[in-house]
């Protein structure tokens, strides 16, 4: 979106500068069931994305007003995005020497990470994606320097799967490491670590550089591979090994980001998962040894100008240049909204945040464990406290569940999509927006109920939900109970299992 397009409506602008996933259908909802504007629904889909709150929308509208009144839009965009970086840096205690690049989504930052690691030579880069089914749907294409959507952030068209830059794409060899077996059961950490190790040893032995993703909370809450493995590979292999922590869900503790960066790993983050900003808003945290200012990288690959705006990148990266210059107004608005949500969440004290999260987890089990047609999927548990990065709260925040019909047969992904859509439509005066269905095995699909930051803030502060915190926690429990009744009732509906 060029700066002279500021006369467009707020709704069109906040959905600009990203890919096809943001575009609402005739029902006003994107493919995940979320809106670009505030919507009256119980938001339990932060593991996918959420409709923005009034608070987020107001922040984005203020940012747009600044742009519209500006006599120098380029300068105002740069200043606004620097404000977003400052919020991230201060909130997550990111050291001043760390670069923060803002990206249209968590998917796009994958290609930026590859470019930084690949550098200026022509060596092979082996890129290892762990848990490919449980990270973003476009991740593998983006990590291979291939288009993942028909719509480019800059507004053009693309063919998914085609190379963004032929030379860089030819250098990338992608490996995928599963975190569940074919039946959907979580693999042992030893098995996952072993698979990653084998790939790394093979790659390094033939002279390749290696980029390994460790997912810090997948779509269903899994962390893999283990941090001790990542540390050993970093120490043993040195410069030919680079780690990146996929913290796109935003569900790790605020101190965890710098912990990873101190080990020399990049960190990916979004403001549009746990924190509930409007979809999408990505960020890549880059340690000094990978910064273009250190490596001497003086140019991003041709084709990247369709994804990244100069003013979304750190000022120290300006020498890397972009073939053409544009302002991603949509990214500016979405990050303004996301930072408002981040500030609101951390404005609630830690004790209250943990109390709400614990109550949410207990309520999910209380309400879903007793249902004959619903089975909660076993949660990921790490028995080694040093094996993973700590969570943003002390309790799980994402719960996956299967649904069966009266014959005991699991509903497949298509049926769960219909259930997801039906729950997101007003029934008895309520709508429930859940995390979209995810495949966890060859023939197993789950829906997800997720706690997000906006719900934590509402339960902590919103007096219309109850006079006291305990009253508001009671409201949350009642809301989950009503959801569980709706799921149980719809589980046996002929229209859900087999549409007319």
Residues 6 or more apart whose CB falls under 8 angstroms from that of 24 comprise: 15, 30, 35, 36
pLDDT digits (tens, 9 = 90+) for 125-178: 999 999 999 998 899 999 999 999 999 999 999 999 999 999 999 999 999 999
Mean of the per-residue pLDDT values of the chain: 94
Average pLDDT of the segment spanning 296-320: 90
109 against 388, higher pLDDT = 109
pLDDT band at 369 (very low <50, low <70, confident <90, very high): very high
Average pLDDT of the segment spanning 421-430: 90
Q: What is the Cα–Cα distance from 468 to 232, expressed in whole angstroms?
A: 49
Please list the alpha-helical segments (H only) found in 148-296: 166-171, 189-205, 227-237, 256-262, 292-295
pLDDT band at 1 (very low <50, low <70, confident <90, very high): very low
The structure's pTM equals: 0.96
pLDDT digits (tens, 9 = 90+) for 317-331: 877 767 567 999 999
Residue 374 pLDDT more than 90?
yes
pLDDT digits (tens, 9 = 90+) for 163-195: 999 999 999 999 999 999 999 999 999 999 999
Among candidates 333, 332, 312, which has minimal Cα distance to 322? 312
pLDDT band at 223 (very low <50, low <70, confident <90, very high): very high
Q: What is the Cα–Cα distance from 62 to 66, expressed in whole angstroms?
A: 6
Residue 97 pLDDT more than 60?
yes
Q: What percent of the chain has pLDDT over 70?
A: 97
Q: What is the Cα–Cα distance from 440 to 467, expressed in whole angstroms?
A: 41
Among candidates 342, 355, 313, 331, which has minimal Cα distance to 452? 342
Task: Tell me how many degrees the CA angle 171-172-175 measures, rounded to the nearest 5.
Answer: 150
pLDDT of residue 281: 96
DSSP secondary structure of 133-145: GGS-TTHHHHHTT
Domains and CATH numbers, the chain: 73-338 (3.40.640.10), 346-497 (3.90.1150)
> DSSP secondary-structure letter at 347?
T
pLDDT digits (tens, 9 = 90+) for 45-56: 999 999 999 999
DSSP secondary structure of 395-459: S--EEEEEEB-TTSPBP-HHHHHHHHHHHTS-BTTB-EEEEEEEEEETTEEEEEEE--HHHHHHH
pLDDT band at 291 (very low <50, low <70, confident <90, very high): very high
pLDDT band at 404 (very low <50, low <70, confident <90, very high): very high
| Helix%, strand%, coil% for the chain, nearest 5 | 45, 15, 40
Residue 497 pLDDT more than 80?
no
Average pLDDT of the segment spanning 471-491: 96
pLDDT of residue 240: 96
Q: Which two tokens stand for residue 285?
A: 């945290």
pLDDT band at 2 (very low <50, low <70, confident <90, very high): very low
Distances, alpha carbon 118 to alpha carbons 127, 207, 295, in Å: 10, 13, 11
Sign of the C-alpha dihedral computed for residues 387, 126, 246 and 264 taken in this order: positive
Q: What is the Cα–Cα distance from 108 to 466, expressed in whole angstroms?
A: 41
pLDDT of residue 323: 59
């Amino acid at each position: 979106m060029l700066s002279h397009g500021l006369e467009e409506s707020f709704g069109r602008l906040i959905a600009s500068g990203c890919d096809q996933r943001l575009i609402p259908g005739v029902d006003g909802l994107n493919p995940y069931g979320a809106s670009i504007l505030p919507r009256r629904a119980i938001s339990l889909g932060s593991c996918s994305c959420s409709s923005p709150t009034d608070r987020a929308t107001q922040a984005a509208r203020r940012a747009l007003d600044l742009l519209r009144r500006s006599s120098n839009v380029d300068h105002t965009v740069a200043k606004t995005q620097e404000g977003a970086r400052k919020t991230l840096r201060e909130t997550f205690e990111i050291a001043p020497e760390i670069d923060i690049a803002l990206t249209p989504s968590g998917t796009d930052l994958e290609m930026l990470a590859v470019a930084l690691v690949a550098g200026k030579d022509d060596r092979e880069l082996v890129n290892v994606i762990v848990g490919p089914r449980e990270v973003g749907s476009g991740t593998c294409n983006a990590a291979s320097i291939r288009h993942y959507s028909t719509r480019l952030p800059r507004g053009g068209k693309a063919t998914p799967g085609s190379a963004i830059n032929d030379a860089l794409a030819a250098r990338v060899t992608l490996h995928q490491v599963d975190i569940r077996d074919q039946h959907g059961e979580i693999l042992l950490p030893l098995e996952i670590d072993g698979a990653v190790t084998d790939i790394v040893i093979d790659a390094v032995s033939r002279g390749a550089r290696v980029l390994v993703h460790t997912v810090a909370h997948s779509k269903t809450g899994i962390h893999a591979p283990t941090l001790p493995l990542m540390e050993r590979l970093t120490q043993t292999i040195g410069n030919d090994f680079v780690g990146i922590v996929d913290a796109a869900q935003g569900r790790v503790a605020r101190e965890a980001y710098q912990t990873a960066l101190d080990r020399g790993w990049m960190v990916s983050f979004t403001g549009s998962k746990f924190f509930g900003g409007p979809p999408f808003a990505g960020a890549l945290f880059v340690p000094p040894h990978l910064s273009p200012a250190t490596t001497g990288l003086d140019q991003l690959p041709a084709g990247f100008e369709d994804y990244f705006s100069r003013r979304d990148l750190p000022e120290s990266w300006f020498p890397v240049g972009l073939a053409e210059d544009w302002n991603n107004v949509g990214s500016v608005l979405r990050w303004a909204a996301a930072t408002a949500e981040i500030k609101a969440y951390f404005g609630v004290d830690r004790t209250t945040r943990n109390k709400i999260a614990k109550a949410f987890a207990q309520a999910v089990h209380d309400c879903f464990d007793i249902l004959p047609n619903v089975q909660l999927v076993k949660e990921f548990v790490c028995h080694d406290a040093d094996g993973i990065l700590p969570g943003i709260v002390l309790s799980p925040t994402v719960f996956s569940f299967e649904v069966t019909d009266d014959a005991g047969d699991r509903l497949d992904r298509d049926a769960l999509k219909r259930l997801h859509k039906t729950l997101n439509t007003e029934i008895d005066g309520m709508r429930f927006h859940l995390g979209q269905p995810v495949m966890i095995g060859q023939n197993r699909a789950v829906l997800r109920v997720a706690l997000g930051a906006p719900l934590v803030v509402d339960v902590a502060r919103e007096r219309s939900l109850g006079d006291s915190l305990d009253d508001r926690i009671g409201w949350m429990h009642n809301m989950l109970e009503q959801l569980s009744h709706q799921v149980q009732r719809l589980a046996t509906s002929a229209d859900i299992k087999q549409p007319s």
